[in-house]
Every structure is written in structure tokens, then in C-alpha cells.
A and B are shown apart, each in its own frame.
Chain A
Amino acid sequence: MPLTDPDLWTDYLRETLQCYSESLLRDVTTRLLKPRNQWAAEELIERSLASIDNAAVVDRRLQDLDVASRSVLTLIARSRQPRWRLGNLLELLTALGHSQGPQPVLTLFEIGLLFPDLLGREVRQGADAAAKATAGQASLKTFEQWLGQAGGSGFVVFAHPNVMARALACELELPLLPCVEGLDGAVHEADGLEWPLRLAAMWQLLTESPLRKTQGGDFFKRDLDRLRTDPRLSAAPAESLADTPDGSLLAAELAQIEGLAQADQAELRVGTLPAWWDAGLPETLASLWAALPLLETWNPLDGWRTTETPGNPYPSAYLLALLLLARLPENGWADPDDVEVWICEKHPYWQGEELRPSRRRSWIPTFLLGLAYQLRLVQAAKNPAGEWLVRLSPMGRWVLALSEVPAPAPAFSQTLLVQPNLEIIAYRQGLTPALIGRLTRFAQWKNLGAACMLQLDAATVYRGLESGLTYEAILQLLESHGMRATPPAVTESLRTWANKRERISIYPSGTLFEFGNPEDMNEALARGLPGVRISDRLLVVAGESDIDFRHFRLTGTRDYGLPLEKCVEVDEDGVTLAVDVTRSDLLLETEIARFAEPIDGPSMSGRRRYRLTPDSLAASRQSGLGATDLEAWFLQRTGQSLSPAARLLLGGCQTPAPELRHQLVLHLASSELADGLCQWPGTRQYIRERLGETTLAIAPQDVDALRARLATLGVTVKW
């Protein structure tokens, strides 16, 4: 999830307001911007968006709000996540002592500072803007209507980043926990790279093959095992003070939220490496912090949970935990257990008497000393009794918008040790999310310890080249970040693999220009046609959008995305094929050459003739073109099946050997007579075979006996 991009959310808000009924829209905008004129709905929407963008207007509306409503926006702002489940927001309000139920949220809806998520779509660069939830297209008449519906979005609301920014100025009423000041022990702070590394490994795991999901949304056992046993994802973090249960599944969910994985009903497949990793570690960690409220299948108590488990109070509890730490004085340290006690006392989920004892197990220390610590949001130190205490780190304070971005640590750009055996050791001191992203594209992470190891091989380098990297770019990265010169063996391997990739080019959907003569093609190239010659009259262009067709007069067009045309006739001999050249295409001309020979002579009346011969069909068989392929070709191109003559040439040698026999043929006057002879016991023993309706095959040695028998019936056989 990228940091909140106001422009993206403005577009999303516009579409959301378009789902409001006109009366509701007027009610909201009346309170938001207090219009003096009667404007049309579209005008109201645009002016509302302009008001949201106006800090002074937003500040005035915030001042008009009650404490609870203001707190909702401040909580959302501190989380950096514009989109929240309504239930989690109500939990936060209750924990802060506001027990008005959803009224503060309704107030914010009515004043136009918070909005129901009617569209249920991702708001991110590159997200599919065309995919609109059908629920969002219905006209919302009242907010109570939305609250009363069992919405597919699960009652999700969102705030615009501009409103969030102004709400940061408001205070939250949180207590000061007991704290210890002036600890002498060493302060522990993680480097913050653990989760970018794990997400990079997750991305690589998905490039190998996607993870398949059951209809219920869980992973199939084989893929679950694959996740849990992956050595990179299942290893203990390099820096952690508490175990993070089911870390590999947490990586899968975070990858999905951050865009490194794309999910649909059937599988989780590879996405894209986040562009915001190039902005640096603070932006990367802020994005991961903003992703925590969206976690649904993982929590620090259970690890990975199936979606059937009801209730997800953890997003609100994460935010409360860090906000409590934010109240500590500068040198103050808190016991994670004290944080947990407060949350369990105030959070409505843990206040419930019907809550099972298993749900009351401790988990906040696991979260603070595990995930929060790994994200560099908290620091830890031991008290004299040897117990861990925590406080917000400078990064944590910045992520919660309580201070300026912390000064970056001194950079160690030479942090890679490239070895002749194509292994790369990457020391974490010099790693950055940007470097992690680039290394991920062309090398394989092997382990993610204090010194990470990567492996270069043909497949990984190929992956990098296919993603847009060049041999020179890969080499330059290794050189600029290497602690010593790149070994010649590595350079040579990279060059070999890069060159190998140049051996075969595939144009999945190219446009082929067929010129009448080489001079025309040269003229086209001189005029700037961006193509590659493939013969003296043929030129291929990867796509059509860069072509200026004003230079050309099209004498014919063939679209190979359309069904193939029937343009071949079969002569009476069954083996001569006449191709209509005006309707044929490149596919036909290359295919037919594989199993038929051209007949010499110029084409007559726009037809080119080919003939099937035993040699041509034998050659096609050797090249892998079988009877089934030819049958399909004939049906497509001629509209009829393979001719009997063609079948004979193609498969005659594969049928049982024919047999030549000497036999006498008895010709009868009628088929009924033949039937009688075959049926009557007196004669049927002498009939070898019925050849036709009135012809029977007789063995020579049976002639006399048959004649004698027929004579008894008064039938004389002419012999």
C-alpha cells in the first residue's frame, strides 16, 4: 500500500459521491461547504472536493465537531490508513471512553469528512480503475440505509488524506502508563529491513508458481506446506525479541496488501515490487504500518487463522498500543504487560464476559517485541530485573506523525560481496529497500540473516532481463555496491546469459508489413517505420500505436486474432489443393508447405495449387504433423474432412496389410436368392463370404458340391 496519494483518493471520493442520491449529496455539501447557490449535483461534487483540499475549510469543520468525531479522524490519521472497518473504529472510540456507538461516524458522514466505502476497490497506482463494485452503483439515500445493509464491503469507511493531515492537530485522550525513566541498559532497535526482505522472498516464491486457494479462501495443503517450509520465510528473524507466529503466512498477507501478490478466488500470484521502496526506508515502513489495519487472516495471538473465525479486534489494538507508547515522556519506557492490561480493560472485545479464556491469552508483548520491533516502530531495553521494556523509536514517532522523519543512518553503499561461485553476500548495514528491490529482480534470496545470501543463475538473471534490466545495469549495480571488483567469472556468466537471451525473440502480437518489393520496404524504413526486417519484403513491428499509417496504402489486411478463413478447395482427385491467394494468409502458406508440394507453374485465376504426395506427407509425419492435425487443418481451411485419397497416402501403411486371394464369385439374380443361399443349411457351408448383394465367394473345391445341392432345388449353375 503506498503512502496516501491525495489525487488517487480524490478520484475515489468523486466516484463515491456520485453514488449519493441528490438529496443526500445536498445535505452533506450544505454542512461541508455551506453553498450560497443552488448548484447541480456535479458542481456540488467538484466543490466538495475543492473544500476537502482547502485546509482552512477542513479546519473549521473539525472545530465544529464533538470530541468523539474528531477523535475518529485523528485515529485514522495516526494509522496512515485511510480505510478502516467501522467495527474497529467503534472499538477505538469505546476504548477512548466514547460510548455513543456509531453516532460520531454518522456525524462525520453528514458533514462530509468521512465516507462509506461504497465501491470496495483498491486505491493504488495501477489498480484496475474499471473494476467497479456493483454495490457502489446503487444510489445511497441515507447513511442509515447503508448501516442497515449487509454490505459486501463489510462496513468499511474511508477518509481523504487531506482531512487526515488536518486531523493530526487534534489530541487524543489517552492515559499515561506507568513508565520507567533513565534506563542504563543497551537500547535495542531493529534495522527495519526484516519485512522488506521477507516480502522480497515472498515475491520470488510466487514467481516460481502461484499459491492456490480453496473455495473457502484458505490455501491448499501443498501450498500451505510450501509456505511454511520455505527456508527464507520460516527462519527466525535476524532481529526479534519475540516469536512471530506463522511469519510466512503473515508475509503472504502483507504481500497481498502491498501489491507484491495479486489475489483472486483461485490463487495468489506474483504482483509487482513496490515502487515506493525506492523512496527509502521511512516510506517503506510507513506503508507497512498502514497495512496493519488491513490484516484479517493473521494476528499475533493465533498466527494464521481461517476466515471463519469471527471478530478481528487486532487492528484497533495495534493502534492503541502504539498510541499509548506515544504518551510516554522522551526517556520513558513502558512494560508491554502494562499496555496489555490497559487495552484489555478498555477495549470492548476483551471486556466481554462471554469471551473464551483462550482468547484472553497474552499477545501484546508478542506484537510489540515481535512485529512492531521488526518494523522499527519501537525500541526495547531491559530493566534491572532483566525484563523487556519498550518505547516508540524515532521511526515510530515519525510514522505516527509525532515528529520529523529521523535522520538516515550513515550509508554503506559498498555492502555486497560478489563471489566467483555466483553467490552474493549482502550485509544488512548497507541494504536499503531500493537495493533489496533491485537485487530481488535478478538474484535469488537464499537466506535472510544478519548477512543475507543471494544466488545468481541463468533463470534469475533471465528474470531480471525480462523485467527490463540490462546486462550493463546489473553489472553496474554489482560494481557500485560491491566491496570489491566483480569476479571475471561472474561477469562472463552474466554476459553469456544476457547474450543467450538475444538468440530468440518472440513477438506475441506483432504487426507484419508485407511489401511488394525491397525498395518499398527501404522507403518505409527511411520514413521512420519502427520495425525489424525479417526478409527483403517483410518487416515486423511490435505494436501498431507507433505507426503512422498515412505513409501507407493498404492492399490487404489480415487479422490473425480472428478465426481462420476457408480459402482452399480440394480437387476431385482428393490430393490437389487450390489456394485462393486473395484470401489466404501467412499461416496457411507456411503450414501447407509442411505437407504438400507446390505444383509448378504460375497461379491461375488467383489460385495457387499444391499436391499431397507420399513424400510430402511422410515429411510432415516426421516433423510431428499427424493425421489429427491435418484433419483439423482440412476442416478449418476447406470446410471438409481429409479426402479418402489423402487418408490413403497418410495412413495406408498403418492399416492391416491387404490380402490377394484366388476365389470364385457366384453371381445371383437377386439379393433374396443370395440371402436364401446364405441362410439354408444345405448351402451355407459352401459360401465363403458374401461379397455384395448378389455375389457370393465360393471356394473352388466346393463348386461341385454346391452345384449338386442346387440341382436338387432345380437351380442350374452356369459354369
Chain B
Amino acid sequence: MSKPTSGTRIPVKLHRRVCLIQSEDALLAEELLASKKLSQDLAGRLTDQVLLVRPGRVDAVIQELQRMGHTPRVVARDEGRGTRDEEP
């Protein structure tokens, strides 16, 4: 990232260690929320395509998504720049 310009820090609220699911479209998000088993591990809908996962339930969510026939991409931090996919 570039050096900050003096006096122009951007105000932001930070939410750390959030577990969320981003779907390709809103319809897919609806489908996931409609699943009774999956919805128990979901806290709710952040946006049309983004669902919040309850803390500590990410592994169960991944397993349930796979059981439903989905192949979720798990996005984790790379050691270098950007993101890298990892095995769930």
C-alpha cells in the first residue's frame, strides 16, 4: 500500500476474525439460508450475497456445504501478498 497522506486517515470500524460466506448470487444465498441444517450455523445475512457464520462453526459449515454438493473455496491469508486457497 502507498504511504498515507498526512491528515487523511480514513475512519473505519474494524470487525476482526469474522467468518462469512460470499455466494455468487443472491439466489444461492437464499438457497443456503433455506437449508435448515445450515441455517443453524448461520448468524444471518449481511448483504444479499454475504452470510455471517456463527463463531466456531466454520468447519461444520464447510462440511455441510460439501454434503449439499457445493465445493466452497476457502480463502485464507497467504504468507505473501494477496490471498491463497487452502484445503478446508
Give me the interface of A with B, judged by CB distance under 8 Å.
458, 462-463, 465-468, 497, 500-516, 520, 523-524, 527-530, 532, 534-535, 538, 540, 542-548, 550-561, 564, 585-587, 589-591, 593-594, 623-625, 629
Contact = CB atoms under 8 A, between A and B. Distances in A.
B10 A504 contact: no
B6 to A, nearest CB: 11
Interface in B63-79: 65, 70-78
Contact of A506 (B11, B36, B46, B61): B61
Given A501-B71, A510-B19, A590-B45, A623 B39 contact: yes
A508 B77 CA distance: 10
Given A466-B87, A538-B50, 9 more contacts: A462-B71, A465-B71, A465-B85, A466-B85, A503-B28, A504-B28, A510-B75, A516-B12, A532-B22
B46 A534 contact: yes
Contact of B73 (A505, A513, A520, A550): A505
Interface of B: 1-4, 9-24, 28, 32-34, 36-37, 39-40, 43-47, 49-50, 52-55, 58, 61-62, 65, 70-78, 81-88
21 contacts: A466-B85, A501-B71, A504-B72, A509-B17, A510-B19, A510-B20, A511-B14, A530-B81, A530-B83, A534-B46, A535-B50, A542-B77, A543-B76, A544-B77, A546-B82, A551-B10, A559-B17, A586-B15, A590-B46, A591-B43, A594-B44
Nearest to A626: B40
B47 A535 contact: yes
A547 B21 CA distance: 21
Task: Kindly list the 5 A-B residue pairs having the minimum CB-CB distance in the complex, ordered from nearest.
Answer: A543-B77, A590-B44, A528-B1, A512-B15, A548-B1
Given A463-B87, A561-B16, A590-B45, A505 B11 contact: no
Nearest to B70: A504
A557 B10 contact: no
Contacts of B3: 550
A590 B48 CA distance: 12
Contact of B12 (A507, A513, A550): A513
Given A530-B81, A534-B46, A542-B76, A508 B15 contact: no
Contacts of A544: 16, 77
B18 A586 contact: yes
Contact of A503 (B16, B23, B36): B23
Contacts of A532: 22
Contact of B52 (A466, A553, A564, A587): A587
A467 B87 CA distance: 5
Contacts of A550: 3-4, 9
A217 B14 CA distance: 47
Given A506-B74, A514-B13, A560 B88 contact: no
Contact of B71 (A467, A497, A543, A564): A497
A596 to B, nearest CB: 12
A375 B30 CA distance: 55
A589 B78 CA distance: 30
Given A504-B65, A534-B46, A520 B11 contact: yes
Contacts of A560: 15-19, 55
A523 B83 CA distance: 21
Given A553-B9, A555-B11, A590-B45, A512 B75 contact: no
A529 B70 CA distance: 30
A624 B24 contact: no
Contact of B44 (A516, A534, A591): A591
Contacts of B15: 511-514, 557-558, 560, 585-586
Contacts of B9: 550-553
A535 B3 CA distance: 26
A534 B12 contact: no
Instruction: Find the residue from B34, B58, B71, B72 having the highest chain A CB count within 10 A.
Output: B71
Instruction: Find the residue from B9, B73, B78 having the highest chain A CB count within 10 A.
Output: B73
B14 to A, nearest CB: 5
A477 to B, nearest CB: 18
A502 B24 CA distance: 7
Contacts of A545: 77
A567 to B, nearest CB: 15
Nearest to B40: A624
A527 B10 CA distance: 10
Given A507-B75, A511-B18, A561-B17, A554 B87 contact: no
Nearest to A539: B12
A505 B44 contact: no
A624 to B, nearest CB: 4
A297 to B, nearest CB: 28
Given A515-B10, A590-B52, A507 B22 contact: yes
A623 B20 contact: no
A601 B37 CA distance: 35
